[in-house]
Amino acid sequence: MTQSANPVSAVVLAGGQSRRMGRDKALLRIGDQPLLVVVLKRLAFLSGDLIVAAGERGCYAEVLRSAPPTRCVNDPFPHAGPLSGIYAGLQAAKHSHSIVVACDMPYLNVALLSWMIDQAGSYDAVVPQVMTKNDAMANRSEEAPLASGRAKDGGFHPLHAVYSKSCMAPMQAAFERQELRLGALLATLHVRPVTAAEVEIYDPHFLSLKNINTPEEYANLSRLDL
């Protein structure tokens, strides 16, 4: 596997409500392991500073016994969604940059994340900006990039990204404005967008941007080789 030479922390967001799934997604079993552990083991190839932002769920102490060494942090702004989890992770991180992903992304691609780390430089964030098939059809362009992930907030995927601690001040300002949308935050940052063509080099099927939201998506995991 290709790994970055730049030291980073890694933050897994596990404080969501899992409303569409109907149960805690972090605890879903993938083979003989909880999904949270699968994600952490993948990130351990890139970082020795693993952090779980668990919100109000507690620290998953029992689950993390089978994971690489991991620290848990609580959200400093309850009920503020993923923005609060990212802030908590950056605050606790040992390094200036952190990989930030959701706990329901079992297809993380180590080579892609490593490349994204190397792009960070002086940017506040490195974030994939990838169209969905529906967007491409609406544009009626054969050259439009296709992906299987969500396209919201301008096509950005802010829960599969690299963030700098420089984001913390804009996040604090967002909390004060009570503007919790990640898309609104990205508009205030110096962002290095990752194009579909760049993602495709490492992940031709764009699986790394896909998360598991519903029982149907969870059932389909068995069709793919993790």
Provide the number of structural domains found in the chain. Answer: 1
Q: For the segment 120-133, what is each residue's pLDDT rounded down to a tens digit?
A: 999 999 999 996 54
Does 3 reside within a domain? no
Q: Which domain holds residue 79?
A: 9-223
pLDDT of residue 22: 61
Cα separation, 136 vs 131, whole angstroms: 7
Does 29 reside within a domain? yes
Does 130 reside within a domain? yes
Contact call for residues 110 and 45 (beta carbons, < 8 A): yes
**Cβ atoms < 10 Å from Cβ of 223:** 6
Any idea what the Cα angle at residue 114 is, between residues 129 and 9, rounded to 5°?
Answer: 100
Weakly modelled stretches of the chain, pLDDT under 50:
1-2, 133-151
pLDDT of residue 19: 65
Cα separation, 127 vs 188, whole angstroms: 14
pLDDT of residue 178: 94
Identity of residue 16: G
Which pTM value belongs to this model? 0.86
Does 90 reside within a domain? yes
pLDDT of residue 3: 53
| β 49-53/70-73 pair status | parallel
Does 2 reside within a domain? no
Does 148 reside within a domain? yes
Contact call for residues 190 and 122 (beta carbons, < 8 A): yes
Cα 114 to Cα 24, 42, 144: the distances in Å are 28, 12, 25
Q: What is the CATH number of the domain that holds 41?
A: 3.90.550.10
pLDDT of residue 144: 34
Does 77 reside within a domain? yes
Catalogue the E-assigned strands of 36-165: 49-53, 70-73, 97-102, 125-128, 160-164
Quick check: helix, strand or coil at residue 11?
Answer: strand
Does 129 reside within a domain? yes
Residue 162's nearest CA partner among 193, 134, 200 is 193
